[in-house]
Each structure stands twice: as structure tokens, then as C-alpha cells.
Amino acid sequence: MKDNQLSGHLTDQLGQFKNLAYLSLAQNKISGPIPLSIGELSSLETLRFGHNLLEGVVLETHFSNLTRLTTLKASQNMLRFESNSSWIPPFQCRTIELGQWHLGPKFPHWLKFQKNLSKLDISQAGISDSVPTWFLNLSPQFKYVNLSYNQLAGGISYLNVRDSVDLSSNRFTGPLPRVFPTLQFLILSNNLFSGSLFELVCHSSSKERMEALFIDKNLLTGEIPDCWNQLESLTFLNLGNNNLTGKIPPSLGRTGLDWLNLRNNSMFGELPSTLQNLTNLRILDLSENHFSGNIPTWIGDKLSTLMILSLRSNNFDGQIPHKICDLQYLQNLDRIWTFLVTTF
């Protein structure tokens, strides 16, 4: 019954369906509390009620007899889970999604007992704590982890996740973590990570499958290393709002980037001609740096799929190339450039 316009409250009679193995009420408009009787569904394997208007307190009793539960998807509600620090869940889930629940302020200790966990979302959950060591070593079969929009702090040396990690909008510090070789999506935006990109980009074993790398709004320093051609599948790169210096490395033009954001750093020099090889580029944001020289003609000639072009607040000079008028998909042209004589 997912993806409907169902409303009202959940009935207290749910517990009478003893043989129910699959219950999905996701993406409706169901409101009110979760009835305690849901804990009597001893045959339940999949429980999905995410994206509703449910509110109130969830207790250990709600899960008391759910010994067969393997999938719990309940994000995007207004629920608060109150459990004892010594609580051991009766289930072993492969998927737990509790985004926007209130689970904090401590990191949920009961996750320590989930030995089969593959997908976890506890984003925006009011957690103000460090990520415990036992969690980072919990499961070699983690595919997806989302801890974003909490107040998690401390350093992370290694991310033991196969496919996708989102740690954005926390207070993580220290150098960038090492990652699992098959990782595809790494989102570390809006934290306090510091130091160089070199180890992650040049020495990382995750080169063939990495598709998205977002490390914007951190404290990264030093030059961008020149070994990007090793990340063969990289499509999205956002390094904006850091303290990076130096020139754009030529190897960035030997990737398959659709999106390149170096906004608000301290980079300088002319744009390397290799960037004209990024023929699938849709977003190019180099604003608020110290780039200089002429704006290359090849931007309008070679980057024909550009939708957003931002070069403002740099040291470019000369004329805006008329070829930029040929960018038929361009939707946003930010042309407030320092020391630029415009003759468009």
C-alpha cells in the first residue's frame, strides 16, 4: 500500500496479523504514533513506513517479538526512539533506515549487535558524539552508510564501506580517511577534514569505480595532485570552499567529469588546455580564485554541454570569447569577473 494518499492513524489491531511477513505503508500521509501491537508481529521480515507523518515515541516494546525482521525502512518521520543503553535488539537486520528519527545524543549502542548490516541510514538523527571504534569495524559487508547532518566528531582513519558513504554536515576532523577499493560515492562535505588530497587521490586503491567525490567546505590545504587520470569513472568532483593552492593539474582533463567545482580556494595560473577534453562537462565553477590569462576559446567550442559556467572573482583579462554564445544548453553564466573587459 505504498505510494498512495493514505491518511489517519495506524490501528492498535495490527498485532492480530500473526503471519504477516511483509508490511509496506511507505510514502503516504499516515500520522500519529506507532501502536505497540506492531511488536507482536513475530513473522514480520520487512517493515516499511518511511515518508509519512508519524510522530511520538518508539520504545523497545515496539520491537519485542520481531525476531525475523531483516529490513526496517522508516526514514522521514517525526519519531523519537528511547531505548536503554544495554538494549540488545531481537532482530538481525540487513537494512536499517531511520533518517530524521531522534536517536541521540549518544551514538546508538544497539547497532553493535547488528552483525548482518549492509545498509544504514541514521542521518539527521540528533547524534552529538564520536563514532565508536566498534562501528567502524562492525561489518565488512557494509554497502551504504549515511551519517549526515548530525554533530559527529573526531577522526576517521578508514571507511569499511563498499559502495557509498555520506558523512556530510558533521564535525569530523583530521586527515581524509582511507577507503574501501570498490567505493563509488564518497561525500564528506561540510566537515573539518584537513591536510592534503594526495593520499586519497594518488595512493587510494579505489580508482576504477569512484564516481563521485565531494569534499567541499572543509579545511583541505596544499596543491591538487596530478594523478586524476587514475580515477577512470569519476563523474562528479566538488572541492569548493577549501584552502587549496596551486594550478589546476592537467590530469583533471583526462577524466570523464560531468561536474567540476573548485570554487573559493586560492588557486592560480591559466586554465590548462586539457580541460577541453571534458566534452561531457555540464557544470564548471572556478569562481573566487586567482586564475589569470585569457578566457579560452575552447570553452565555447569544445564544452558544448555546459549548463552552468562560473568564472567570477578571478584575474582573467581580455575579451569574453564569442564562442560562448554557441553554448546552447547554458542556463547560468556568471560573468562578474575581476579586471575583465567585456565586449560580448
Per-residue pLDDT in tens (0 to 9) along the chain, 344 residues: 555 666 888 888 887 888 899 999 899 999 999 999 999 999 999 999 999 999 999 999 999 999 999 999 999 999 999 999 899 999 999 999 999 999 999 999 999 999 999 999 999 999 999 999 888 876 667 999 999 999 999 999 999 899 999 999 999 999 999 998 899 999 999 999 999 999 999 886 656 789 999 999 999 999 999 999 888 899 999 999 999 999 999 999 999 999 999 999 999 999 999 999 999 999 999 999 999 999 999 999 999 999 999 999 999 998 888 888 888 888 877 754 333 333 33
Residue 303 and residue 239 share a domain: yes
Let me know if residue 304 belongs to a domain: yes
Assess whether 69 and 168 both reside in one domain.
no
Cis peptide before 108 (omega within 30 of 0): no
Domain total of the chain = 2
Of the candidates 210, 214, 271, 205, the one whose C-alpha atom is nearest the C-alpha of residue 237 is 214
- What's residue 324's pLDDT? 86
Query: Would you state the pLDDT for residue 275?
Result: 96
How far, in Å, CA of 157 to CA of 137, rounded?
11
Query: Which CATH number does the domain housing residue 308 bear?
Result: 3.80.10.10
Please check whether residue 138 lies inside any domain of the structure.
Answer: no
pLDDT (0 to 100) of residue 339: 36
Q: Please name the residue that has the C-alpha cell 549502542.
A: 109
Whether the CB-CB separation of 79 and 56 falls below 8 Å is answered with yes
In sequence order, the 6+-apart residues with CB closer than 8 A to the CB of 133 are none
Same-domain pairing of 215 and 341: yes
Q: Helices (DSSP H) in the chain: which residue ranges?
A: 133-136, 198-202, 298-302
Asked if 190 and 120 sit in the same domain, the reply is no
Please indicate, yes or no, whether residues 1 and 104 belong to a single structural domain of this protein: yes
Query: Beta strand 259-261 with 236-238: parallel, antiparallel or unpaired?
Result: parallel
Q: Clarify whether residues 98 and 212 are in a common domain.
A: no
pLDDT for the residue 8: 83
Judge contact between 65 and 40, C-beta under 8 A: yes
The span from the CA of 190 to the CA of 179, in Å, is: 19
Contact 144, 119 (CB under 8 A): yes
Q: Which long-range contacts (CB under 8 A, 24 or more apart) does 2-5 make?
A: 2/26, 2/27, 2/28, 2/48, 3/27, 3/28, 4/28, 5/29
Give the CA distances from residue 277 to residues 37, 281, 299, in Å, rounded to whole numbers and listed in that order: 61, 9, 10
27 lies in some domain: yes
Per DSSP, 11 falls in state P
| Residue 343 pLDDT | 33
Evaluate whether 192 touches 221 at the Cβ level (below 8 Å).
Answer: no
Residue 84 lies in a domain: yes
CA distance 286 to 260: 8
Global pTM value? 0.92
115/167 same-domain check: no
Whether residue 120 is found in the same domain as residue 244: no
For residue 15, the enclosing domain spans 1-124
205 shares its domain with 317: yes
| Same-domain check for residues 219 and 327 | yes
What is the grid cell recorded at 38?
506492531
Q: Are 97 and 125 in contact (CB under 8 A)?
A: no
- Residue 143 maps to a domain: no
Measured in whole angstroms, how far is the alpha carbon of residue 252 from the centre of its chain?
22
